[in-house]
Structures are given as structure tokens and as C-alpha cells.
Amino acid sequence: MSQKQQTSTDSIAGKITKAVGKPSGYLSLLVFLVALALPLFATNYILHILILVFITGIGAIAWNIIGGYGGQFALGNAVFYGFGAYSVALLVNNYGQSFFVALAVGIILSVLLAVLVGYPTFTLSGHYFALATIAVVEGMLYLVLFFGDFTGGAIGQSVTPASWLADLVGNRVIAFYIFFAIFGLCILISTWVRYSKLGYYLLAIREDQDAAAALGVNTTRYKIYGFALSAAMTALAGGMYAVYGTYVSPSGAFSLDLSIQYALITLIGGMGTIIGPIVGTLFMVPIQQYVTTVLGGNLGSLAYIGYGVILIVVIIYAPEGLVTRLSFVREWIDNTLPEVK
């Protein structure tokens, strides 16, 4: 038995060496190292943008699990972001709970809500799920406004985390590494899911639900699993934003815009691929930040026109997403640069 284990570790080590030896492998590693070294020379503003990339990216990666792998078009994932953000804001500020307890509550509530929305709608065929998710995020926004005494209403709620945490996230460089690490963790989760039973079942459901059922896949159950995981990761993003931004607002958190943005980013990057949502976020968030903050103020709404244009261009020239469209770059790199052994 030990011998068998030995072979399997050997082959894993071998696989890693082989993957890194390929030009696309060592170039990726190089990009990763450059990213790690970024705080040495990047300005605080650029670090801020990258932190936003990580937080939005987690939401997009989460959306990709249910929307990309599972093919279930969720249009209300911001509700989980809102749960994460508001749980942290309310429990930390008003009830003196620690950040981790508050975050856990946000994640658990999100998973429960995902099951509650998923169970009745996943058993139906058609677009009920997408419609239900829109209804939930819009409904929750009104609830937050209605119970203003508890939630802070339209004004929102400022967040004062414990001083050690405030010090950590208040330092851009440290915050960059923390959020980068969590972003990396979410990429690992997404990669693991893709090659797990859950991933194969979700892909099968996306491709043909009847075929999946005939192969023994409990389609409703696995869609709920995928949605719940997506909800948990999105709540994590919301909770992280709450401590980083130190302020949550109902229109920012329970936002249909943000929900659609998760879907758009993934669509533009490449739905159902591991790196699609990552590429999509790296592409879209800086553009969005540039348009809204640099062009600023009156031109802010231009962001939407810009989004529209980008979306149209992508749909025409890269209907399967940038990743698929740009796969030739990887091939070119692998074919032109030398292999390292």
C-alpha cells in the first residue's frame, strides 16, 4: 500500500514539474511572483483597485460555479454578498461579535437562503430559477430599507472592526496580501470543484439534464449543492468588503447591478472555465473603476454605456469568452518559448 502511495506522490510531483516546465506554466508562475511583489512598487491606489479585483473576483468565481459549471443563470447572487456584508456590519457593530462569528453567520444564512430558493425552483424546468433570484435580491433590498431601525436603512451602516483587524486591513500592503490569499484560496476551491464529483455532475446538468438524470445524477440536489457553495463564497466576499470598505449600504450590497455584473464578468471571461471569471474580473473591474472614479462624477453613468459596448464587442468577437478566444496565445507561448526541464 505504501508503495502505491509513493507512486501517486511521485506522479503528482512529476505532473507539477512537467506543468511548470512548460512555457505557459513558468510564465504563469512568473506572473504570480510579480503579483506577490506588486506592493513593493505599486501605488496605494493600484493596490486598492487590485483588492477590489480580488473581492469582485471571488463573487465572479462563485457565480461561475452555479452559472458556468451548472448552467443555472443566477441573477441575484448579490443577495449573498449583502448577507455577508450586513452580518458583519450589524453583528460586529451592534452586537459586539467578533468578525469571524459575524462572517460565519453571514455564510450560514446565505447557504440557508440558497437552499430555500433553490429547492422549489430547481425542481421546475425553464427560467423560474433566474426569475426567483432576481425577486429575492430586489425583495431583500426593500426589506433592508423597511427595517431601517435595525439595518440603518437607506443610509447604510458603517463598520468598525476590532482594532487589530482595522489595523491589518487599513494597511494597503497587508490588506493586499490577505485578500490575494483568500482570492487564491477561492481559485483553488473552484479548481477542485471542477474536477470533483460535484463539478462533473454540474457540467452534466448544464449539458443535458435528462442525460445527467439517466446517469444517476440527482439533478435537483446537485444544483442546490452548487448554488449553496456559490452563496457561501459570495457571502465571504461581502463580509470581506464590509471590513475593508468599513461601510455597507443597501443599494451597494443588495444590488441587482452587482448580481448582473457577476454574470457579465464570467460571460466575458469565459463561462464554465476555471480562469474565465478571473480574466473577466481583471479586465472589467479596472475599466469600471477607471470610468467611475477617474472620469468621475457626471460621467459616471458612462460606465454603463462602456459596459454595453464591451459586452456587444465580446458577444460578437468572442461569444465563448476571452479565455477561449485567447487560447491561441497560450498555444503560441507553448510552441515558441523553450521548455525547461
Give the binding site for another protein (CB under 8 A). 195-197, 200-201, 203-204, 207-208, 210-219, 272
Distances (CA, A) of 280 to 31, 56, 104, 260, 287: 17, 10, 28, 13, 11
CB of 218 to another protein, least distance (A): 5
**Cell numbers linked to 219:** 439533478
By beta-carbon proximity to another protein, the closer residue of 149 and 210 is 210
Give the list of residues 6+ apart from residue 61 with CB closer than 8 angstroms, or none: 186, 187, 189, 190, 233, 277, 278
CB of 212 to another protein, least distance (A): 7
3-state secondary structure of 247: strand
Q: What is the DSSP letter of 155?
A: G
- Report d(CA 148, CA 153) in Å as an integer: 4
Beta carbons of 49 and 75 less than 8 angstroms apart: no
CB of 64 to another protein, least distance (A): 14
Give the list of residues 6+ apart from residue 148 with CB closer than 8 angstroms, or none: 154
CB of 253 to another protein, least distance (A): 34
Distances (CA, A) of 149 to 90, 145, 157, 246, 319: 11, 9, 11, 19, 46
3-state secondary structure of 196: coil
By beta-carbon proximity to another protein, the closer residue of 239 and 277 is 277
By beta-carbon proximity to another protein, the closer residue of 61 and 198 is 198
- Report d(CA 59, CA 263) in Å as an integer: 9
By beta-carbon proximity to another protein, the closer residue of 217 and 228 is 217
CB of 200 to another protein, least distance (A): 5
CB of 256 to another protein, least distance (A): 29
Distances (CA, A) of 313 to 263, 284, 308, 318, 322: 16, 13, 9, 8, 11
CB of 117 to another protein, least distance (A): 21
Beta carbons of 248 and 39 less than 8 angstroms apart: no
By beta-carbon proximity to another protein, the closer residue of 7 and 98 is 7
For 51-70, b where at least 16 C-beta lie within 10 A, e where not — what string? bbbbbbbbbbbbbbbbbbbb
CB of 216 to another protein, least distance (A): 4
- Report d(CA 221, CA 285) in Å as an integer: 33
By beta-carbon proximity to another protein, the closer residue of 36 and 211 is 211
By beta-carbon proximity to another protein, the closer residue of 5 and 163 is 5
**Cell numbers linked to 101:** 462569528
298, amino acid identity: N
CB of 133 to another protein, least distance (A): 24
Q: 304: how many CB neighbours lie within 10 A of its CB?
A: 13
By beta-carbon proximity to another protein, the closer residue of 81 and 206 is 206
By beta-carbon proximity to another protein, the closer residue of 202 and 322 is 202
